[in-house]
Amino acid sequence: MRITQSSIAASSLANLQASLARNAQLQEQMTSGKVINRPSDSPTGIVTVMSMKSQIASSTQYSRNASDGAAWLGTVDSTLQTVNERLQRVRDLVLQGSSTGTLDPTSRQALATEVTSLRGELMGLANTSYSGRPIFGGTTANAKAYDDTTYAYQGNDGQVTRRLDSATTVEVGASGPTVFGDGATSMFKMLDDIATNLVSNTPALAGNLAQIDGRMNDVLQTLTDVGVRTNRVTAAQTNADDNVLSMSSTLSGVEDIDLPKTILDMQLSSNAYQAALSATAKVLQPSLMDFLR
């Protein structure tokens, strides 16, 4: 087989082009910090990378959901704690007003006035909102869970939920009627009755005391439930964050360059290119006159 000058030139140029392309690829990897910059770099690797990025995105969203759910539940918890404290104060006032022969009408009126003030404060707590939505109103679009005048519940039975993983959701709100009642059977109507009884119907306060204890029990049960859900949300957020860290580490192993190795490869490739360039220059020295001799 006869090897012509043109075939040598073509082969040399092809080798130079391949060496130059290798240099360009290593330079791109150095610049991006990634081994895989396009599907053609590794058809199988890109599938793994895309799958892991999708899982990381999902876990990141689950973590955000859990964080938001924890904030909701934290608002519910702190509100219920305050509700319980205010009811305890009402209970103390009822016990004080139940005593006979020690309080004059002015003192009883003062007790009633404080109960009325506490009722207004509890109404504000019942209408507590998070991100513009009442935490005791279900999924209602109303700005408040309760009407200030009629004490009617303006929410609904819908549950505000957050997704913690592909198969788990958790409720992050609380039922207004369970804690505060509704309308004529509400906590607020009870407090109005207590204020009236403190002034003019002392014997009825015994029944009011039992009502207060019932409401406080409802609050404590809801607080317990909120605590259980908070623990679930916190655990889910920790798990999602751990998944993100683990998968990000694995993704880095698949996608990111080994910097020392890439630097060494780049130096070797550059040296090989320079050597090939020098050798090719010598091989392709013959001119047209050499072929005419």
Asked whether residue 31 is domain-assigned, the answer is no
Asked whether residue 3 is domain-assigned, the answer is no
Answer for the pair 181, 187: CB distance below 8 angstroms, yes or no. Answer: yes
Higher pLDDT, 182 or 26: 182
* Distance, CA of 77 to CA of 95 (rounded, Å): 27
162 and 281 share one domain: no
Q: Which pLDDT value is given to residue 272?
A: 61
Highest mean pLDDT among 13-17, 45-49, 203-207: 203-207
Tell me the pLDDT of the chain averaged across its residues: 85
112 and 142 share one domain: yes
Asked whether residue 223 is domain-assigned, the answer is yes
186 and 107 share one domain: yes
204 and 111 share one domain: yes
pLDDT tens, residue by residue, 145-162: 999 999 999 999 999 999
* Distance, CA of 183 to CA of 159 (rounded, Å): 21
60 and 165 share one domain: yes
| CA 34-40-44 angle, 5° bins | 80
Asked whether residue 36 is domain-assigned, the answer is no
- Overall number of domains in the chain: 2
113 and 173 share one domain: yes
Q: Which pLDDT value is given to residue 102?
A: 78
139 and 273 share one domain: no
Asked whether residue 12 is domain-assigned, the answer is no
Confidence of residue 123 (pLDDT cuts 50, 70, 90): very high
156 and 221 share one domain: yes
Higher pLDDT, 288 or 87: 87
Asked whether residue 7 is domain-assigned, the answer is no
Using alpha carbons, select from 94, 136, 138 the residue that is nearest to residue 115: 94
236 and 268 share one domain: no
216: domain CATH number is 1.20.1330.10
Burial class for 200, CB neighbours closer than 10 Å (0-12, 13-18, 19+): exposed
Say yes or no to pLDDT of 290 above 60: no
pLDDT tens, residue by residue, 17-60: 665 566 666 566 666 666 666 666 666 677 777 888 899 999 99
Q: For residue 265, what are the domain limits?
A: 257-293
Q: What average pLDDT does the segment 99-117 reach?
A: 91
List C-alpha distances in Å: 238 to 54, 224, 270: 19, 21, 47
169 and 269 share one domain: no
pLDDT tens, residue by residue, 235-269: 999 999 999 999 888 877 767 665 566 566 666 66
243 and 280 share one domain: no
* Distance, CA of 36 to CA of 48 (rounded, Å): 11
Asked whether residue 187 is domain-assigned, the answer is yes
Residue 42: phi, psi to the nearest 5?
A: -165, 95
145 and 285 share one domain: no
